[in-house]
Structure 1
Amino acid sequence: MIRIVALLPFVVLAFVSLAQAAETQKPNILFLFSDDQSYETTGYSGMTQAQTPNLDQLAKRSMSFTHAYNQGSWSGAVCVASRTMLNTGRFVWHANDVYKTAEKEREAGRFWSEYMKNAGYRTYMTGKWHVPANAAKAFDVTGHIRGGMPKQTPEGYNRPKNADDTQWQPWDKKFGGFWEGGKHWSEVVGDEAVGFLEEAAHDDTPFFMYIAFNAPHDPRQSPQEFVEMYPAHEVDVPEDFLPEYPEHKEIGCPPGLRDEHLAPFPRTELAVQVHRQEYFAIITHMDQQIGRILAALEASGKADQTYVIFTSDHGLACGHHGLMGKQNSYDHSIRVPLLIAGPGIESGENDAAVYLQDVMPTTLELAQVRKPEHVEFASLLPLIHGEKTESYDAIYNCYLDRQRSITDDGFKLMVYPKANRVKLFDLTNDPMEMQDLSADRAHSEKKQQLFVTLQQWQAKVGDTLELDAQLGK
């Protein structure tokens, strides 16, 4: 007995040492999050004129998920729904159920950052939050916490009416917005993220960084040199350009909707070119800040032990289909870039349909956290390592009670309950979603199949909206 008791301190120390070693073996997580960035607006995608040299370099060493989606929104502020889903891990209507009590969810530990804290991570956040939970308590360390979008001004709407309408300029600081406080908000995010990494270089505790840019949300402001990279008259007008979307009122996107009010009705090619010029410019400016952050990660000596994830909360029409906002179910507005790089990740592309919110359970798995029962999104790691080829049998999307869509097997069915109609697109042959096949008898069986799948997904996500069965026939 005396020998055993004498050995006990050494046994305890051994277990403590093993536990500490396990903690240090956990990888760091750097999560980079943009706002309103469509999947097509990266240089590496080659789909638009947007230049993103730093994201392009990241993509070269990442697994790029080419079909990553947002699940929709119960609110005109699509950002709110997307970020609530991300931080709670719940599907859209289940996230809506806890939205108003999000702070209680956080206090109960059912929040992304709280799980990371409990796993031994030092957690950090700067930038856009837009979730009704206390960010200062959700993370160990915070920089600037921005509620939602930067302030717009009357001059920022319904423009440009003509080529001489230059009253509002993205670099003019008198309009506030991203310039409020004296320094562009993207640069502030860059500064604060770099500062945290400089501190982390001297700390062996694994870190979880939630770096959330407000860019490229409107007001799409950036320094003049970035705007001048994209002369408006040289900006491509999307092939699917329309002066006006036929069902804009029925789908909840009338001229009075804030996002749609940014450009004049009917749309003009000039207005679309100017808005896309400003969109690309603020993306390139944000990309510069991402480059600074990635350089600081390298300088910290932590890069080899860090997973870097980049995505956006949803996309944006910005001139596609006669629309300006993200309150629609076209791919330009629900599909986002998604990159993940880090130890053991082979670079390449994966075309499996996933949700952007899958990054939450992915990081929990990396942090050796058992997936909580309420988390409904799926880790990306089995897809990355070839353990499975799909996470979902279809992609569901919603907007208020005005729109529903389901994407499966290369086709998308959109349902407009208030317009009493559906639209069907063959995404393989018509990726711009311009040829509605819903009235084509050759595709009637596909329409019916998709309608049934949509109803099944309504049950999965807690969607109680009743759809007229005649719409699927």
Structure 2
Amino acid sequence: MRRVLAALVTAAVALALAVAGAVSVVPDTGARPAAAAAPASPASPADDRAAQPVPAAVAAVKAARAKLAKVDKRLRKARSGVRKAERQLRQIRKSRAPRARKARLVKAKRTAVRTGKAKVRRALRARTRARNAVRTAEAKLRAVRPLGKPNVVVFLLDDMRADELNHLPKTRKLLAGSGLELTDAVSAHPLCCPARAQLLTGQYAQNNGVRHNSGVHGGYASYTPASTLATMLSAAGYRTALHGKYLNGYGGSVAQPTEPGWSTWDALVRGTYDYKTFGFVNGDRFRDDYVTDRITERSIATIRRDADRQNPFFVLAGHPAPHYAWGPSWAARHNPPVGKPKYVKAYAGRQAPSLSDPAFAEADLSDKPASWLSSEGRADSRDYVQQQFVHRAAALRSVDDGIAATVEELRRLGELSNTYLVVTSDNGYTLGEHASMGKNVFYDEALTVPMLVSGPGVRAGSSTLPVHLADLAATILDVAGATPTHVLDGRSFVPELRSASGSGEPAWRDTTLLLAGAPQSRAADQWGFRGVRTERYVYGVSWFAPEEEVLFDRMTDPAELTSVHRDPRYAAVRAELRRRAELLSSCVGASCNRSFGALPEPRSGPAEPADPAPEPEQPAPVRDRVLIP
């Protein structure tokens, strides 16, 4: 029996081995057990975050900031409780309550003060931990976020002279040491609205249509926002924002809820030059406030929000400073700008540099065009000019604080190393030179503007390359890799930002077209003057009164005291400059950036009698002339 069982077991084992062998030699057809072929389980949130590090890091930063905000709120509440308990304790001690009751109340309030201070200490420790957590989260975000396209932030001031860059000490310290100052930058159309239109379009007025601040060919009504820096940068993937001043004539019934191309539209529509009472297009109204601080606050909030997105950002902060304060009546239109008291006090003892300029309150203006004799204020009054200087400088110091705060926020967000920063102005301003107070003339004080650029690859130092606001538009589009949707009259100066030699670029233009507005009563459909500026000369001619000309030889007459347009020694120079002005006045695109070559030299020898001047039209008194704000 045992033999039979052993035989059966042996047979079973043999059969099992045979089956195993058969299975082992079956070819691998790629088939897998059903369990292995089932789809994998969904990835966990942690796996998803690992696959997308930037959104995860952004979320961590937001969470850390939210926690910090809660801790700050708790700290404020604890401090408020301590102040309240201490105040009540003082009141109890001064009261005439019965001694026993007073002692109980004092003991209770002392306990409340001690408890409150303990809460403050705990909140302070929690705030330290929360701040450290925010810094850690931001560091991780900087580590995983690819640089991509650079951000661009432009601080556009109003009526700031080039020499007033000295009133931005923090800005100069933060940017000038790591950026380039273009010391020969001009506003080719030194008037608020046309200048801003040049920056926003990269075109001269003959091509963008904005020739004045108001009228048929002036202001917002003549501006076409369909193709601008905003639309072109938006098409290139940028988030775009404007905060502050926009164009003259924008506001009231013509204000739009947004403008084409702008992701964030935050233009001033009320009290643009009031400084203290003003309003934005979204309905926010402010009284007894300060416009510079609010523009800074709102632009930083946009940067903070847009820095958390994948897209690069472009922010234009349009500060009204240092434009004069414009009151409700004509008599109040040219009040000094409003500066904070601490800064007004700081500048009260400094003398306005223009008071010692050879051209200040120039007595003989017979060689100057009659249409240049209007003035935005008492240009011959030393006290008035001094007052304007002090308050302009004080207003600029608040802008300086705002720029510094913006730079610090960019640094905190890890965006500073990938952000271009630009500080400039729409035009300059005369402060008593040539008995003039204002802009819209071809004096260097009105033409030259500050231009400070910092950013990735920008060299430190200064450059004398002659640039203007339309060039800045082309440069911004260049660094952003944006494609222009219309022909630009400006030219990118990116090569100059990176190398003093221009990196082998074609020669820069040697003649810049200048334009100026005119009182509407004389030229509603034309510019008052057109002209040119070269390294040595400034020339202008009236298009409605061709006998009105001006020609300054800045090499022999840097103060521009004497116009030599009627001096026979300069006849060939004048003729060539007039020819260039006529050619450039209808230029488009590359033809606006020509290099004409060397100018004729003025004839040597003593001055010869000038040709008699044509009988000029008798100008109206300065105070009765039409003024252009």
1:438 and 2:565 are equivalent in the alignment: yes
1:135 touches 1:145 (CA, 8 Å); kept in 2? no
| CA distance in structure 2 between the aligned counterparts of 1:57 and 1:81, rounded to whole angstroms | 30
| CA distance in structure 2 between the aligned counterparts of 1:148 and 1:313, rounded to whole angstroms | 20
Corresponding residue SS for 1:234: coil
1:423 and 2:589 are equivalent in the alignment: no
| CA distance in structure 2 between the aligned counterparts of 1:100 and 1:438, rounded to whole angstroms | 32
Which one has a larger percent helix, Structure 1 or Structure 2? 2
Which one has a larger percent strand, Structure 1 or Structure 2? 1
Corresponding residue SS for 2:346: coil
Choose which of 351, 375, 378 in structure 2 pairs with 1:234.
351
Counterpart amino acid of 1:146? L
Show CA shifts across 1:97-137 (max 9, x none).
69789799434xx1211111111111111111116684723
Corresponding residue SS for 2:322: coil
**What's the counterpart of residue 119 of structure 1?**
236
**What's the counterpart of residue 413 of structure 1?**
539
Query: Please, which moves more after superposition, 288-297 or 143-152?
Result: 143-152
1:337 and 2:450 are equivalent in the alignment: yes
Structure 2: which 5+ runs fail to align?
1-51, 53-143, 211-216, 280-284, 326-336, 518-526, 590-611, 614-629
Offset, 1:421 = 3.6
| CA distance in structure 2 between the aligned counterparts of 1:53 and 1:389, rounded to whole angstroms | 36
Structure 1: which 5+ runs fail to align?
1-16, 44-49, 153-169, 463-469
1:136 and 2:255 are equivalent in the alignment: no
Offset, 1:416 = 4.5
Show CA shifts across 1:333-375 (max 9, x none).
1211112111111112221211122121211111212333422
Choose which of 465, 482, 487 in structure 2 pairs with 1:369.
482
**What's the counterpart of residue 356 of structure 1?**
469
Counterpart amino acid of 2:264? T
**What's the counterpart of residue 33 of structure 1?**
156
Counterpart amino acid of 2:552? F
Offset, 1:199 = 2.2
Counterpart amino acid of 2:516? Y
383 and 180 in structure 1: CA distance in 2 versus 1, 3 angstrom threshold: same
Q: Which has the higher contact order (CA 8 A, sep 6+)?
A: 1
Choose which of 508, 514, 528 in structure 2 pairs with 1:402.
528
125 and 451 in structure 1: CA distance in 2 versus 1, 3 angstrom threshold: same
Offset, 1:141 = 4.1
Query: Please, which moves more after superposition, 119-128 or 226-235?
Result: 226-235
**What's the counterpart of residue 145 of structure 1?**
267
Offset, 1:389 = 6.8
1:55 touches 1:287 (CA, 8 Å); kept in 2? no
| CA distance in structure 1 between the aligned counterparts of 2:297 and 2:220, rounded to whole angstroms | 32
1:189 and 2:302 are equivalent in the alignment: no
Counterpart amino acid of 1:412? V
2:367 touches 2:563 (CA, 8 Å); kept in 1? no
301 and 93 in structure 1: CA distance in 2 versus 1, 3 angstrom threshold: same
**What's the counterpart of residue 305 of structure 2?**
199
**What's the counterpart of residue 327 of structure 1?**
440
| CA distance in structure 2 between the aligned counterparts of 1:127 and 1:29, rounded to whole angstroms | 17
Query: Please, which moves more after superposition, 229-238 or 116-125?
Result: 229-238
**What's the counterpart of residue 156 of structure 1?**
none
What is the TM-score of this pair, normalised by structure 1?
0.77
1:393 and 2:506 are equivalent in the alignment: no
Offset, 1:29 = 0.9
| CA distance in structure 1 between the aligned counterparts of 2:314 and 2:286, rounded to whole angstroms | 28
2:487 touches 2:588 (CA, 8 Å); kept in 1? no
| CA distance in structure 2 between the aligned counterparts of 1:65 and 1:283, rounded to whole angstroms | 19
| CA distance in structure 2 between the aligned counterparts of 1:106 and 1:138, rounded to whole angstroms | 6
Show CA shifts across 1:253-302 (max 9, x none).
555xxxx34337xx222221111121222112211111111111111110
Choose which of 440, 444, 459 in structure 1 pairs with 2:586.
459
| CA distance in structure 2 between the aligned counterparts of 1:409 and 1:116, rounded to whole angstroms | 33
What is the TM-score of this pair, normalised by structure 2?
0.59
**What's the counterpart of residue 8 of structure 1?**
none
Corresponding residue SS for 2:565: coil
2:239 touches 2:313 (CA, 8 Å); kept in 1? yes
352 and 180 in structure 1: CA distance in 2 versus 1, 3 angstrom threshold: same
2:147 touches 2:418 (CA, 8 Å); kept in 1? no
2:177 touches 2:460 (CA, 8 Å); kept in 1? yes
Offset, 1:311 = 1.0
Write out aligned runs for 1:12-411 (5 A): 25-43=148-166, 50-72=167-189, 78-96=191-209, 105-107=224-226, 110-130=227-247, 134=256, 136-142=258-264, 144-147=266-269, 150-151=272-273, 176=277, 181-219=287-325, 220-231=337-348, 234-236=351-353, 237-239=355-357, 240-242=359-361, 246=365, 251-253=370-372, 260-263=375-378, 267-385=380-498, 386-387=502-503, 388=505, 390-400=507-517, 401-411=527-537
Query: Please, which moves more after superposition, 406-415 or 245-254?
Result: 245-254
| CA distance in structure 1 between the aligned counterparts of 2:431 and 2:278, rounded to whole angstroms | 19
Query: Please, which moves more after superposition, 308-317 or 374-383?
Result: 374-383
| CA distance in structure 1 between the aligned counterparts of 2:308 and 2:176, rounded to whole angstroms | 28
Offset, 1:204 = 2.8
| CA distance in structure 2 between the aligned counterparts of 1:38 and 1:105, rounded to whole angstroms | 28
Query: Please, which moves more after superposition, 179-188 or 84-93?
Result: 179-188
| CA distance in structure 2 between the aligned counterparts of 1:30 and 1:64, rounded to whole angstroms | 16
Offset, 1:238 = 4.3
| CA distance in structure 2 between the aligned counterparts of 1:234 and 1:210, rounded to whole angstroms | 33
Counterpart amino acid of 2:157? S
2:470 touches 2:489 (CA, 8 Å); kept in 1? no
Show CA shifts across 1:231-256 (max 9, x none).
2673331411116673699554555x
2:257 touches 2:265 (CA, 8 Å); kept in 1? no
**What's the counterpart of residue 465 of structure 1?**
none
Residue-pair matches, total: 407
Counterpart amino acid of 1:427? R
Corresponding residue SS for 1:210: strand
Larger radius of gyration: 2
Counterpart amino acid of 1:130? L
RMSD value, Cα: 3.4
2:516 touches 2:530 (CA, 8 Å); kept in 1? yes
**What's the counterpart of residue 96 of structure 2?**
none
| CA distance in structure 1 between the aligned counterparts of 2:146 and 2:404, rounded to whole angstroms | 29
